[in-house]
Amino acid sequence: MSTADLHSQTSPSRRVVSPFHLAFPVSDLQAARAFYGGVLNCPEGRSSETWIDFDLYGHQIVAHYKPRQDHQDAAFANPVDGHDVPVPHFGVVLPWDEWHDLAARLKSLGVEFVIEPYIRFKGEVGEQATMFLLDPSGNALEFKAFRDVDQLFAR
């Protein structure tokens, strides 16, 4: 389901989805360009010597150059469904088939996953496909999908 599809599907329980904006640090702009532009196929928008805009499935993410800090080497995780989920992380909820296509493409490219693509909460409320990976600067990304997007906030 695209962002436009979500915009057209309004109900009392569903908000209209608008593109989000996220700015995040990267220690190498060229590596970020290769990863977001090449691996994830994010079209590039505006850029300068210190930042690059990318279109992540209709959302504006901005990679800002910042030298790597010692504290970035410390991994933080939270246990979820038997996996150590990296925190912080960001990502996108994709349509089911598009998620599977992305997972297959990333595997074919030899991308190393923090959490391999799998079905989380199988047979439970909120069942979802999910995968986690790191960009070259160590920023964690999650891509997920629901067979039924109405399960996104289900309890």
Q: What is the pLDDT of residues 82-132, one digit of tens each?
A: 888 999 999 999 999 999 999 999 999 999 999 999 999 999 998 999 999
**pLDDT range class, residue 17, cuts 50, 70, 90:** confident
Unique residue bearing structure tokens 């595997």 = 107
The partner residues of 14 in beta bridges, in order of sequence, read 11
| Main-chain dihedrals φ then ψ at residue 22, nearest 5 degrees | -135, 125
Q: How many Cβ atoms sit within 10 Å of the Cβ of residue 13?
A: 7
Per the CB < 8 A criterion, the answer to whether 72 and 136 are in contact is: no
Residue 7 above 50 pLDDT?
no
Residue 18 above 70 pLDDT?
yes
Per the CB < 8 A criterion, the answer to whether 115 and 91 are in contact is: no
Q: Which domains does the chain have, with CATH numbers?
A: 3-151 (3.10.180.10)
How far apart, in whole angstroms, are the C-alpha atoms of residue 1 and residue 155?
21
With 0-12 CB in 10 A as exposed, 13-18 as middle and 19+ as buried, what is 19?
exposed
* Token digits of residue 36: 């977001």
pLDDT, position 15: 63
pLDDT, position 30: 97
Q: What is the pLDDT of residues 52-69, one digit of tens each?
A: 999 999 999 999 999 987
Per the CB < 8 A criterion, the answer to whether 148 and 127 are in contact is: no
